[in-house]
Amino acid sequence: MAQFELEVNGETHRLDVPGEMPVLWALRDVLGLIGTKFGCGIAQCGACTVHLDGVAARACVLSVAGAAGKAITTIEGLGNGTRLHPVQRAWIDLDVAQCGYCQSGQIMSAAALLADNPAPTDADIDAAMVGNYCRCGTYNRIRAAIHSAAVQMSGDEASAGLFYDAAREVRT
Protein backbone atom coordinates (compact mmCIF):
# COMPACT_ATOMS: atom_id res chain seq x y z
CA MET A 1 0.00 0.00 0.00
CA ALA A 2 1.08 3.47 -0.67
CA GLN A 3 -0.38 6.87 -0.09
CA PHE A 4 -1.88 8.69 -3.01
CA GLU A 5 -3.38 12.12 -3.21
CA LEU A 6 -6.47 12.17 -5.36
CA GLU A 7 -8.17 15.41 -6.23
CA VAL A 8 -11.86 14.74 -6.65
CA ASN A 9 -14.40 17.50 -7.26
CA GLY A 10 -11.95 20.09 -6.01
CA GLU A 11 -11.13 18.30 -2.77
CA THR A 12 -7.88 16.49 -2.11
CA HIS A 13 -8.14 13.05 -0.54
CA ARG A 14 -5.28 11.05 0.87
CA LEU A 15 -5.83 7.37 0.05
CA ASP A 16 -4.10 4.30 1.41
CA VAL A 17 -4.74 1.95 -1.46
CA PRO A 18 -2.70 -0.03 -3.98
CA GLY A 19 -1.69 2.24 -6.83
CA GLU A 20 -3.22 -0.06 -9.42
CA MET A 21 -6.68 0.18 -7.87
CA PRO A 22 -8.97 1.66 -10.54
CA VAL A 23 -10.32 5.11 -9.75
CA LEU A 24 -13.83 3.64 -10.16
CA TRP A 25 -13.45 1.53 -7.02
CA ALA A 26 -11.56 4.19 -5.10
CA LEU A 27 -14.49 6.53 -5.74
CA ARG A 28 -17.23 4.04 -4.98
CA ASP A 29 -15.84 1.89 -2.19
CA VAL A 30 -13.26 4.16 -0.53
CA LEU A 31 -14.65 7.68 -0.95
CA GLY A 32 -18.32 6.69 -1.07
CA LEU A 33 -18.97 8.54 -4.33
CA ILE A 34 -21.35 5.99 -5.81
CA GLY A 35 -22.61 8.18 -8.67
CA THR A 36 -19.90 6.73 -10.92
CA LYS A 37 -21.16 3.33 -12.00
CA PHE A 38 -19.68 -0.09 -12.67
CA GLY A 39 -20.89 -1.71 -15.89
CA CYS A 40 -18.14 -3.79 -17.45
CA GLY A 41 -14.71 -3.05 -15.97
CA ILE A 42 -13.05 -3.14 -19.40
CA ALA A 43 -13.74 0.32 -20.88
CA GLN A 44 -16.57 -0.96 -23.07
CA CYS A 45 -19.74 0.55 -21.64
CA GLY A 46 -19.00 4.07 -20.40
CA ALA A 47 -21.00 3.75 -17.16
CA CYS A 48 -17.92 4.80 -15.17
CA THR A 49 -17.11 7.96 -17.15
CA VAL A 50 -15.51 10.80 -15.17
CA HIS A 51 -13.49 13.84 -16.23
CA LEU A 52 -9.74 13.73 -15.83
CA ASP A 53 -8.41 17.26 -16.20
CA GLY A 54 -11.64 18.03 -18.06
CA VAL A 55 -11.45 15.13 -20.50
CA ALA A 56 -13.84 12.16 -20.41
CA ALA A 57 -12.10 9.06 -19.05
CA ARG A 58 -13.23 5.56 -18.10
CA ALA A 59 -12.61 5.24 -14.39
CA CYS A 60 -12.66 1.44 -14.49
CA VAL A 61 -9.34 1.34 -16.35
CA LEU A 62 -7.76 4.45 -14.82
CA SER A 63 -5.48 3.62 -11.92
CA VAL A 64 -5.26 5.67 -8.76
CA ALA A 65 -1.51 6.04 -9.37
CA GLY A 66 -2.18 7.30 -12.90
CA ALA A 67 -4.76 9.82 -11.73
CA ALA A 68 -2.70 11.22 -8.87
CA GLY A 69 -1.90 14.84 -9.43
CA LYS A 70 -4.73 15.30 -11.89
CA ALA A 71 -8.16 16.78 -11.27
CA ILE A 72 -11.02 14.28 -11.30
CA THR A 73 -14.62 15.43 -11.66
CA THR A 74 -17.46 13.01 -11.01
CA ILE A 75 -21.19 13.36 -11.51
CA GLU A 76 -21.46 14.54 -7.90
CA GLY A 77 -19.18 17.47 -8.68
CA LEU A 78 -20.51 18.41 -12.10
CA GLY A 79 -22.82 21.19 -10.91
CA ASN A 80 -21.28 24.14 -9.11
CA GLY A 81 -22.68 23.23 -5.73
CA THR A 82 -25.77 25.40 -5.94
CA ARG A 83 -26.78 25.03 -9.57
CA LEU A 84 -27.04 22.01 -11.78
CA HIS A 85 -24.89 21.81 -14.89
CA PRO A 86 -27.01 22.61 -17.97
CA VAL A 87 -26.54 19.03 -19.12
CA GLN A 88 -28.06 17.72 -15.89
CA ARG A 89 -30.89 20.20 -16.23
CA ALA A 90 -31.59 19.07 -19.80
CA TRP A 91 -31.50 15.41 -18.74
CA ILE A 92 -34.14 16.07 -16.09
CA ASP A 93 -36.39 18.24 -18.24
CA LEU A 94 -36.31 15.99 -21.28
CA ASP A 95 -36.90 12.95 -19.08
CA VAL A 96 -33.98 11.09 -20.62
CA ALA A 97 -33.55 8.28 -18.10
CA GLN A 98 -35.33 4.98 -18.08
CA CYS A 99 -33.57 2.79 -15.52
CA GLY A 100 -31.03 5.59 -15.15
CA TYR A 101 -28.02 3.41 -14.46
CA CYS A 102 -25.98 4.47 -17.49
CA GLN A 103 -26.94 8.11 -17.21
CA SER A 104 -24.23 9.52 -14.96
CA GLY A 105 -21.72 8.20 -17.50
CA GLN A 106 -23.76 9.61 -20.38
CA ILE A 107 -24.00 13.00 -18.68
CA MET A 108 -20.25 13.12 -18.02
CA SER A 109 -19.47 12.27 -21.65
CA ALA A 110 -21.95 14.87 -22.85
CA ALA A 111 -20.59 17.56 -20.54
CA ALA A 112 -17.03 16.87 -21.73
CA LEU A 113 -18.20 17.11 -25.33
CA LEU A 114 -19.91 20.46 -24.77
CA ALA A 115 -16.93 21.88 -22.91
CA ASP A 116 -14.90 21.17 -26.01
CA ASN A 117 -17.48 21.82 -28.68
CA PRO A 118 -20.29 24.19 -27.68
CA ALA A 119 -22.42 23.50 -30.76
CA PRO A 120 -21.98 19.86 -31.69
CA THR A 121 -23.54 18.38 -34.81
CA ASP A 122 -25.26 15.01 -34.74
CA ALA A 123 -22.06 13.48 -36.09
CA ASP A 124 -20.03 15.12 -33.29
CA ILE A 125 -22.48 13.70 -30.78
CA ASP A 126 -22.25 10.24 -32.31
CA ALA A 127 -18.46 10.34 -32.10
CA ALA A 128 -18.40 11.54 -28.50
CA MET A 129 -21.12 9.19 -27.22
CA VAL A 130 -20.33 5.97 -29.07
CA GLY A 131 -18.57 4.52 -26.03
CA ASN A 132 -21.56 5.01 -23.73
CA TYR A 133 -23.95 2.12 -23.96
CA CYS A 134 -27.57 2.47 -22.86
CA ARG A 135 -29.31 -0.84 -22.33
CA CYS A 136 -32.69 0.87 -22.10
CA GLY A 137 -32.31 2.58 -25.48
CA THR A 138 -32.52 6.26 -24.51
CA TYR A 139 -30.23 7.42 -27.31
CA ASN A 140 -32.71 9.71 -29.04
CA ARG A 141 -33.45 11.59 -25.86
CA ILE A 142 -29.74 11.79 -25.03
CA ARG A 143 -29.12 13.40 -28.40
CA ALA A 144 -31.98 15.83 -27.89
CA ALA A 145 -30.78 16.70 -24.39
CA ILE A 146 -27.27 17.44 -25.63
CA HIS A 147 -28.63 19.81 -28.28
CA SER A 148 -30.88 21.41 -25.67
CA ALA A 149 -28.01 21.89 -23.20
CA ALA A 150 -25.84 23.36 -25.95
CA VAL A 151 -28.48 26.01 -26.59
CA GLN A 152 -28.81 26.79 -22.89
CA MET A 153 -25.07 27.09 -22.51
CA SER A 154 -24.91 29.48 -25.45
CA GLY A 155 -27.31 31.73 -23.57
CA ASP A 156 -30.16 31.24 -25.96
CA GLU A 157 -32.37 29.74 -23.30
CA ALA A 158 -35.61 30.57 -25.03
CA SER A 159 -35.13 27.82 -27.58
CA ALA A 160 -33.73 25.26 -25.14
CA GLY A 161 -35.87 22.22 -24.62
CA LEU A 162 -37.58 22.46 -27.95
CA PHE A 163 -35.65 19.62 -29.45
CA TYR A 164 -37.67 16.86 -27.99
CA ASP A 165 -41.33 17.15 -28.61
CA ALA A 166 -42.85 14.63 -26.27
CA ALA A 167 -46.37 15.60 -27.24
CA ARG A 168 -46.38 13.97 -30.61
CA GLU A 169 -49.60 13.27 -32.32
CA VAL A 170 -52.02 11.32 -30.26
CA ARG A 171 -55.35 10.22 -31.60
CA THR A 172 -58.16 9.72 -29.19
The binder of 111, among another protein, ligand FES, none, by C-beta within 5 to 8 A per type, is none
Q: Dihedral angle at the C-alpha atoms of 112, 113, 119, 122, nearest 10 degrees?
A: -150
**H or E element that contains 91:** helix 86-93
Q: Are 75 and 57 in contact (CB under 8 A)?
A: no
Which residue, 65 or 101, is less far from ligand FES as judged by CB? 101
User: Of these, 2, 55, 119, 130, which contacts another protein (CB under 8 A)?
Assistant: 130
Characterize 118-144 residue by residue with b for buried, 16 or more Cβ atoms within 10 angstroms of its Cβ, and e for exposed: eebeeeebeebbeebbbeeebbebbbb
Which residue, 133 or 154, is less far from another protein as judged by CB? 133
Distances (CA, A) of 128 to 43, 107, 134, 151: 14, 11, 14, 18
Q: How far is the CB of 51 from another protein (least distance, A)?
A: 13
Q: x/- binding map, residues 26-65, to another protein, per CB under 8 A?
A: --xxx-xxxxxxxxxxx-xx-x------------------
Chain residues binding ligand FES by CB under 6 A are 38-41, 43-48, 58, 60, 97-103, 134-136, 138
In whole angstroms, give the CA distance from residue 55 to residue 148. Answer: 21
The binder of 144, among ligand FES, another protein, none, by C-beta within 5 to 8 A per type, is none
Residues that bind another protein (CB under 8 A): 1, 17-18, 21-22, 24-25, 28-30, 32-42, 44-45, 47, 74-76, 78-79, 84, 88-89, 91-93, 95, 97-104, 107, 125-126, 129-143, 166-172
